[in-house]
Amino acid sequence: TSRWELAEDGRWTRHHRDAEGEPLTDLQTAMIETHLKRRRKAITRFDGLRARPLPPDELLATSAVLSIHVPLSKHTHHLIDERALSLMKRTAYLVNVARGPVVDEAALARALRDRRIAGAGLDVFEHEPQVHPDLLGLENVVLVPHIGSATVETRTAMARLAVDNCLAILRGEKPLTPV
């Protein structure tokens, strides 16, 4: 069983078309849809976007942009590895805003250096806060320091949640979001 085979039928990825008709792939959307499907709850909100399930190899081979939004688990660790990168188009871009270890950064650095993919954008890193040294200095990668959630609204909500957790503990209750 490959780590791509998380759904019963082995297809938990989705393709969408962006405004210019290029395939845009969002791994999280498909995982959520698969989870709901397993619970026999049908959703159709992506019909208007012409979303469709694809086998993993086809997904990798046809995506213009692979945007990663999956949780880190034993199934998703190094989900994007040397093999996955080798299947991507030379014109493809990889964006990881999920968890760093979902992408094998050493393999990604080689793929970027050798121009096997066009570029990458990383908001998270495999060994945060360290960035793989082979990624530094590459012109076809954008590295940002885990700031994808750096909006006033999101940070305010995070602060409120922290306070609510503290207040719950002080009242002798369980925290809302234990870690």
Question: What pLDDT, in 10s, does the model give residues 122-148?
Answer: 999 999 889 999 999 999 999 988 777
Q: Quick one: pLDDT band at residue 158, thresholds 50, 70, 90?
A: confident
Q: What's the DSSP call for residue 80?
A: B
Q: Tell me: the pLDDT tens digits for 83-116? A: 999 999 999 999 998 899 999 999 999 999 999 9
For residue 49, the 8-state DSSP code is G
pLDDT of residue 38: 42
* pLDDT higher than 70, residue 156: yes
**Could you tell me if 96 and 123 are in contact, meaning their C-beta atoms sit under 8 angstroms apart?**
yes
Bridge partners of 115, per DSSP, are none
CA distance linking residue 56 with residue 27, whole number of Å = 10
CA 151-51-57 angle, to 5 degrees, is 95
Residue 53: what pLDDT? Answer: 67
Q: What is the pLDDT of residues 16-26, one digit of tens each?
A: 444 445 555 55
The two three-digit tokens of residue 86, written as one number: 């080798």
d(CA 1, CA 125): 26
Amino acid present at 174: K
Q: Looking at per-residue confidence, does 47 or 130 come out higher?
A: 130
Of 106, 115, 111, 114, the C-alpha closest to 134 is: 106
Share of the chain above pLDDT 90, in %: 45
Over residues 167-172, the mean pLDDT reads 95
User: Where is average pLDDT lowest: 38-47, 48-57, 90-99, 160-169?
Assistant: 38-47
Active-site residue list: 99, 128, 146
Q: Which neighbouring-strand residues pair with 80? A: 103
Q: What angle do CA 112, 73, 87 make, to 5 degrees?
A: 30
67 beta partners = 26, 95
Strands 119-122 and 93-96: parallel
Q: Residue length, the chain? A: 179
